[in-house]
Chain A
């Protein structure tokens, strides 16, 4: 190997290792700055519901609750829709229509979070408050999920807007997974006299199942960390409630809202600790999602996770 080769490969390798260094650096900084809060509150931090900056008592449970519930709600709404879109684009759409529709779906991912938030405040929340929530209260009001004052903004709004944002992620990864299924599988089913949908059901979906689960998990990873749109529509009240109409808060949202205003070290440290928890959870979820998807396919260019 010549000298030029050695230099080039070393330089390129150096840049590549920056990536690993970056992750380690991020984790390190977060742990270091959370130390104060970890020392003071310990494990109670994770299960305490008191978030009181005035009296210097911090507990993260309301935010963990809000993050988890809004993300699950987003998945419930987005997964069936995303799969429908992916199956339509991959298996059913005539080729002339495929490019424009898939462009539209990918454009969904291109809109910045803050603009979804803007739309959420001024368009979606009023629609929820005036039409959707009263309807839900009237028909399903016996469930504690749909009781209580209706503000428009709140947990439901958070879940819906997250659903809008993770839909393109789940659908484009699912589409890649479906594409990776070899045509011979489909042809085998069709040759048996199956209808188009039956061929998809028998040959494609079962083959692609773990990849699709991976796509869903990656969508979950995105939902967990989504900040701006959520903080603009979720109400930013650190409370735990059984109702989807209630105002709520998430880990990402509280950091976005309060970090710039935090005036003393313990406050900053508590927020940083929440950030660190968020980092751990998303890394964990993304690792699982990646492992499931990687077995089947590579992630398409430009898909934001």
Chain B
């Protein structure tokens, strides 16, 4: 190897090392906001979190109030959304996986992917016009419908992907035993895929628990405990938003406290799912 070759290969190695470094730098930069958010919310909220904060009702800005009704409301709205959205989403996903290998299935799949990307505020507009106007009031139901509309395409696709992963030889084994196609689909394919399906469900619940925009004018808000699904309710994300943009310092602190709680909830679900899924789906790259 002469001098030119040696210089060239030294330069190539230098470029290689530089690119490695740059890519690693990108990772560091990407991770900074996450760590900053987590640290900031955790640090600022510890002072304010106590039993009365978690279980109390909101107070005027000259006192410290609580997020009890917000947590209750979030639970009600998410539960409503799940009751509506999960059956539709899961069965749609089963259909796509077992019977959807044709043009119709392809178009449903495509629409589901588009629907999953529709801005959540637009979904809120839809729920406003579809439910709030019809009922002539804001309600937890309207919020639940909005969140269900967000949930359905996500759950459908994750369910489909999980069921599709079940190897075909299992279906064949069941069919060869003389088991009917629908029982094979339900009791063999879906049953084998159940942990993947559950994962998808949990991730979608985590996702909608944090949604704010669609609730702004559907579930709206409420200074008191929720009394019914046909009344407006307070939810954690909406409370965080309203308090964060208000001019009162105390409310800022409460917003951070509520945010801490919400983050704990979301991260817990996501980490749980990542760990549960690790063995089965860990990519080799």
Distance in Å: Cβ of A238 to nearest Cβ of chain B: 17
12 contacts between A and B (CB under 8 A): A2-B181, A4-B183, A16-B100, A19-B115, A22-B153, A33-B129, A85-B27, A92-B23, A112-B211, A114-B237, A119-B41, A301-B199
A299–B161 Cα distance when bound, in Å, is: 10
With an 8 A cutoff between CB atoms, is A103 at the interface?
yes
With an 8 A cutoff between CB atoms, is B95 at the interface?
yes
A1–B184 Cα distance when bound, in Å, is: 13
A90–B30 Cα distance when bound, in Å, is: 16
Most chain B beta-carbon neighbours within 10 Å: one of A88, A218, A226: A88
With an 8 A cutoff between CB atoms, is B126 at the interface?
yes
Contact of A19 with B92 at beta-carbon distance under 8 Å, contacts A260-B216, A305-B117 already known: yes
Contact of A179 with B283 at beta-carbon distance under 8 Å, contacts A18-B88, A195-B13, A198-B16 already known: yes
With an 8 A cutoff between CB atoms, is A148 at the interface?
no
With an 8 A cutoff between CB atoms, is A122 at the interface?
yes
Q: Report whether A195 and B16 are in contact in the complex, using a CB–CB cutoff of 8 Å.
A: yes
Q: Report whether B156 and A106 are in contact in the complex, using a CB–CB cutoff of 8 Å.
A: no
In the complex, which residues of chain B have a beta carbon less than 8 angstroms from the beta carbon of A19? 92, 108, 111-112, 115, 152-153, 156
Q: Report whether B40 and A122 are in contact in the complex, using a CB–CB cutoff of 8 Å.
A: yes
Q: Which of A5, A87, A221, A256 contacts B213 (CB 8 A)?
A: A256
How many residue-residue contacts, CB under 8 A, span A and B? 292
Q: Which of B20, B36, B181, B262 contacts A197 (CB 8 A)?
A: B20
A13–B98 Cα distance when bound, in Å, is: 10
Q: Report whether A256 and B121 are in contact in the complex, using a CB–CB cutoff of 8 Å.
A: yes
In the complex, which residues of chain A have a beta carbon less than 8 angstroms from the beta carbon of B59? none
A291 to B, closest residue via Cβ:
B110
B31 to A, closest residue via Cβ:
A104
With an 8 A cutoff between CB atoms, is B174 at the interface?
no
Q: Report whether B96 and A16 are in contact in the complex, using a CB–CB cutoff of 8 Å.
A: yes
List the one stretch of A24-32, A44-52, A241-249 in contact with chain B. Answer: A24-32
In the complex, which residues of chain B have a beta carbon less than 8 angstroms from the beta carbon of A30? 122, 125-126, 129
In the complex, which residues of chain B have a beta carbon less than 8 angstroms from the beta carbon of A304? 207
Distance in Å: Cβ of A217 to nearest Cβ of chain B: 11
In the complex, which residues of chain B have a beta carbon less than 8 angstroms from the beta carbon of A43? none
Distance in Å: Cβ of A52 to nearest Cβ of chain B: 21
With an 8 A cutoff between CB atoms, is A68 at the interface?
no
A272–B161 Cα distance when bound, in Å, is: 35
Chain A contact patch, size range: 35 or more
A33–B125 Cα distance when bound, in Å, is: 10
Q: Report whether B16 and A228 are in contact in the complex, using a CB–CB cutoff of 8 Å.
A: no
Q: Report whether B119 and A282 are in contact in the complex, using a CB–CB cutoff of 8 Å.
A: yes
With an 8 A cutoff between CB atoms, is B101 at the interface?
no
In the complex, which residues of chain A have a beta carbon less than 8 angstroms from the beta carbon of B117? 218, 221-222, 225, 282, 286, 305
Q: A16-B156, A104-B31, A116-B37 are in contact. List 11 more A-B contacts (CB 8 A).
A: A2-B182, A4-B182, A83-B26, A106-B274, A112-B237, A227-B213, A278-B121, A301-B158, A301-B196, A301-B200, A302-B199
In the complex, which residues of chain B have a beta carbon less than 8 angstroms from the beta carbon of A107? 34, 267, 270-271
Q: Which of B100, B125, B210 contacts A114 (CB 8 A)?
A: B210
Which A residues form the contact surface with B (CB < 8 A)? 1-2, 4-5, 7-9, 11-13, 15-20, 22-23, 25-26, 29-30, 32-33, 80-85, 87-92, 95, 98-99, 101, 103-108, 110-119, 121-123, 164, 167, 171, 178-179, 195-198, 218, 221-222, 224-228, 232, 252, 255-256, 259-260, 271-272, 275, 278-279, 282-283, 286-287, 290, 298-299, 301-302, 304-305
Distance in Å: Cβ of A261 to nearest Cβ of chain B: 10
With an 8 A cutoff between CB atoms, is B80 at the interface?
no
A262–B282 Cα distance when bound, in Å, is: 49
List the one stretch of B49-57, B64-72, B223-231, B252-260 in contact with chain A. Answer: B252-260
Q: Report whether B24 and A88 are in contact in the complex, using a CB–CB cutoff of 8 Å.
A: yes
A260–B15 Cα distance when bound, in Å, is: 55
Distance in Å: Cβ of A97 to nearest Cβ of chain B: 10
Q: Report whether A115 and B259 are in contact in the complex, using a CB–CB cutoff of 8 Å.
A: yes
B89 to A, closest residue via Cβ:
A15
A119–B262 Cα distance when bound, in Å, is: 14
Contact of A15 with B88 at beta-carbon distance under 8 Å, contacts A30-B122, A272-B129 already known: yes
Q: Report whether B121 and A290 are in contact in the complex, using a CB–CB cutoff of 8 Å.
A: no
Most chain A beta-carbon neighbours within 10 Å: one of B37, B119, B241, B281: B119
Q: Report whether B114 and A290 are in contact in the complex, using a CB–CB cutoff of 8 Å.
A: yes
Contact of A15 with B87 at beta-carbon distance under 8 Å, contacts A30-B125, A112-B210, A272-B125 already known: yes
With an 8 A cutoff between CB atoms, is B191 at the interface?
no
With an 8 A cutoff between CB atoms, is B116 at the interface?
yes
A272–B112 Cα distance when bound, in Å, is: 23
Q: Report whether B129 and A118 are in contact in the complex, using a CB–CB cutoff of 8 Å.
A: no
Give the 4 A-B CB pairs with smallest separation, nearest first. A225-B119, A84-B26, A112-B210, A12-B95
A282–B95 Cα distance when bound, in Å, is: 27
With an 8 A cutoff between CB atoms, is B76 at the interface?
no
Q: Which of A4, A12, A22 contacts B99 (CB 8 A)?
A: A12
Q: Report whether A112 and B262 are in contact in the complex, using a CB–CB cutoff of 8 Å.
A: yes
With an 8 A cutoff between CB atoms, is B176 at the interface?
no
Most chain B beta-carbon neighbours within 10 Å: one of A19, A22, A255, A272: A19
With an 8 A cutoff between CB atoms, is B78 at the interface?
no
In the complex, which residues of chain A have a beta carbon less than 8 angstroms from the beta carbon of B183? 4
In the complex, which residues of chain A have a beta carbon less than 8 angstroms from the beta carbon of B285? 89-91, 98, 178-179
Q: Report whether B203 and A299 are in contact in the complex, using a CB–CB cutoff of 8 Å.
A: no
